[in-house]
Amino acid sequence: MKPLPPNSYDEWLLMPESDQDHLKFQVWDAYERDRVDIPYTALARLIASTERTVVEGAVGTYHCGEYLLHVHVPKSEIDLCPRPLAQRFEGFRVYWMYHPASDYGTNWDFELKEVLLDVLGNQLFLNAKRRDYRLSVEVLDSAGTPLVVSCAGPYDNGFVFNLADLHPDLDTTHRLMPTKSGEWQHEYTVYRVLR
């Protein structure tokens, strides 16, 4: 299979807007996640350059198959952001929205290091940290190899995340909740993936 253009992110930035739009709408298939590395790079650069407190970001797909940069900020900052889809950043439209966790009134910080999780007979190690609505979750297998973590977010007083690469036909949703004794309780649900 021939690689889809462009050859590099620098080449993408040098393209006129009309050429970028041609690639996005005529060459790439956003539903198949063609060249999703390009919008993810734009998202990372937007987050690094903004003055807003970014809670999380994602690359979404608009109804017509257009990649969008989704940027979540606390509710207190949403009025300082451009209206949804009014801003274009490095070739992609930006959808600013406030993060629902900012409605809960919770302001809890934590840091977990090398928490042992037993998932489907696999021993995994979790590192997680939350500061000012920013949540990062890392899961490593027993050999220290990072697993793909997706959909990490707040959940009541704890947090949730998904792991999809433990088994080719399974997906797992994990919840970690603090107990009254200060420990963290781990629960997970297994979903069978139809391929």
**pLDDT (tens digit, 9 = 90+) per residue, 106-142?**
556 889 999 999 998 899 999 999 876 678 999 999 9
The confidence score (pLDDT) of residue 105 equals 47
Q: Which residues contact 18 (CB under 8 A, 6 or more apart)?
A: none
User: Looking at the predicted structure, is the pLDDT value of residue 157 above 80?
Assistant: no
pLDDT of residue 6: 96
Task: Tell me the three state secondary structure of residue 127.
Answer: strand
- Determine phi and psi for 114, rounding to 5 degrees: 50, 50
- The region of weakest confidence among 20-29, 78-87, 165-174 is 165-174
Amino acid at 33: R
For the cut 70, the answer to whether the pLDDT of residue 150 exceeds it is yes
What pTM value is reported for the model?
0.57
Place of tokens 């998202």: 43
